[in-house]
Amino acid sequence: MKTQIYTKPNESEILLLGTLLREGQLVAIPTETVYGLGANGLDDKAVKSIYEAKGRPADNPLILHVSGIEDVPTLVKAITPTAQKLMETFWPGPLTITLEKSDTVPMQVTGGLSRVALRCPDNETCRKIIKAAGVPIAAPSANRSGRPSPTTAMAVMDDLDGRIAAIADDGPCRVGIESTVVECGDNEVTILRPGEITEEMLLQVVAEVKWDSAITTGEGRPKAPGMKYRHYAPDGAMATYVGSVDGVATRIWKEYLQQYKHTTPMGMLISHEVYLQLQQKAAESKMELSEDTLHIVDFGTRENLDNLAGALYETLHQFNRYKVTSILAEGTEPRGVGIAVMNRMRKASSNNVFNVNIEGDILENKG
């Protein structure tokens, strides 16, 4: 199959993409979080082909993407008042809400669960494509199962070229990590997967926000089945260091000196502050940091957590393209969207997340 790329699709191309989807083809769609691998969410055969293209376990349910609140009533038993408030406040946007499903939704979408996950993306092209399709669009992230999610059309091509009919390319995704997933109760919500919509933001609308204890403690079976799988893994081995600028820079420098002779090529995902310190350390030891085999990605200043969310997956894809075998990354503070970023980095690092003190010594394995 030849995968057709539509860059910034015009109105007639949007209609065409909608028709492809309605007729059962797979189309990668842009969203504000990551690219999705879309199929007609009411067509069980089309939904099945998502699992095949991704190599995804069949018990991991899919999110149904809608073009607005008006698409929801036929898909659920009832929209609870809390769900209504959440949709009005955060849609279109990176919040996925689970509700009891109606009989219209095929079991293939929910992996046999009684609830269906719903989301309205904050990307106009995406909503237009869903409207053109005239059906809800089931879409997981458009990567092969277990690999980093794609935030550019090129990253979608890396994983799915030849396996899907088309890609709607709308440029890089704004948020860069997947939506917050919540189970919606009568007066409270439970966070099943952290994302850009944080606990603090949810508390402005609902009285109580709980966390799925399987994510906070790492024990038990997560309510979002996808959270139990190894995920977001780059090809190279990755370690993530959390601490002060001095501590993280010192640790990464030590690791670099130990590894660089043996391990080529290497990748670093670090903030501007850590980058400046590494340059200084290199100058002091009369070394060259920018060798051909070292790929440094400076994600911007560490105060801006959105920077890191936006850079994470594309950086991991880039490291794969460079065939990087060892990755040294700087973690974030677990506040705001930093919680979601650390959730993804922990998985990408296979739990190799280390707290370091100001001297760069490892304090405890936070995995």
230 or 323, CB closer to ligand TXA? 230
Whether residue 239 contacts residue 329, with contact meaning beta carbons closer than 8 Å, is answered with yes
Reduce the DSSP state of residue 298 to 3 states and report it.
strand
Q: Which does 239 bind (CB under 5 to 8 A by kind): Mg ion, ligand TXA, none?
A: none
Whether residue 76 contacts residue 100, with contact meaning beta carbons closer than 8 Å, is answered with yes
221 or 286, CB closer to ligand TXA? 221
Q: Does 343 engage in binding with Mg ion (CB under 5 A)?
A: no
Q: Least Å distance between CB 140 and Mg ion?
A: 5
Q: Least Å distance between CB 116 and ligand TXA?
A: 5
Span 155-194, contacts to ligand TXA by CB under 6 A:
178-179, 181, 192-193
Q: Least Å distance between CB 94 and ligand TXA?
A: 6
Joined tokens for residue 198: 């944080």
Joined tokens for residue 115: 């609830």
Residue 79 to residue 317: CA distance in whole angstroms: 38
Q: Least Å distance between CB 238 and ligand TXA?
A: 20
39 or 289, CB closer to ligand TXA? 39
Residue 54 to residue 50: CA distance in whole angstroms: 6
Q: Note the helical H segments in 233-337.
A: 245-259, 272-284, 305-321
Residue 102, Cβ density class (10 Å: 0-12 exposed, 13-18 middle, ≥19 buried): middle
119 or 251, CB closer to ligand TXA? 119
Residue 154 to residue 152: CA distance in whole angstroms: 5
Residue 331 to residue 358: CA distance in whole angstroms: 15
Q: Which one of residues 40, 82, 141, 180 is an interface residue with Mg ion (CB under 5 A)? A: 141
Q: Least Å distance between CB 212 and Mg ion?
A: 17
Span 59-118, contacts to ligand TXA by CB under 6 A:
60-63, 94, 96, 98, 110, 113, 115-117
Q: Which one of residues 34, 297, 324, 327 is an interface residue with ligand TXA (CB under 6 A)? A: 34
Q: Which does 185 bind (CB under 5 to 8 A by kind): ligand TXA, Mg ion, none?
A: none
Q: Which stretch binds ligand TXA (CB under 6 A): 55-63, 80-88, 236-244, 358-366?
A: 55-63
Longest dimension (CA), the chain: 68
178 or 314, CB closer to ligand TXA? 178
Q: What is the size of the binding site for ligand TXA (CB under 6 A)?
A: 30
Q: Least Å distance between CB 366 and Mg ion?
A: 23
Residue 321 to residue 130: CA distance in whole angstroms: 32
213 or 293, CB closer to ligand TXA? 213
Q: Least Å distance between CB 337 and Mg ion?
A: 17
Residue 116 to residue 110: CA distance in whole angstroms: 6
CA distances, 117 to each of 107, 220, 268, 282, 321 (Å)? 12, 21, 35, 49, 33
Residue 206 to residue 87: CA distance in whole angstroms: 12
146 or 334, CB closer to Mg ion? 146
343, containing H or E segment: helix 338-348
Whether residue 197 contacts residue 94, with contact meaning beta carbons closer than 8 Å, is answered with yes
Q: Least Å distance between CB 72 and ligand TXA?
A: 14
Joined tokens for residue 129: 């494509």
User: What are the residues binding Mg ion (CB under 5 A)?
Assistant: 141
User: What are the residues binding ligand TXA (CB under 6 A)?
Assistant: 31, 33-34, 36, 60-63, 94, 96, 98, 110, 113, 115-117, 119, 139-141, 178-179, 181, 192-193, 223-227
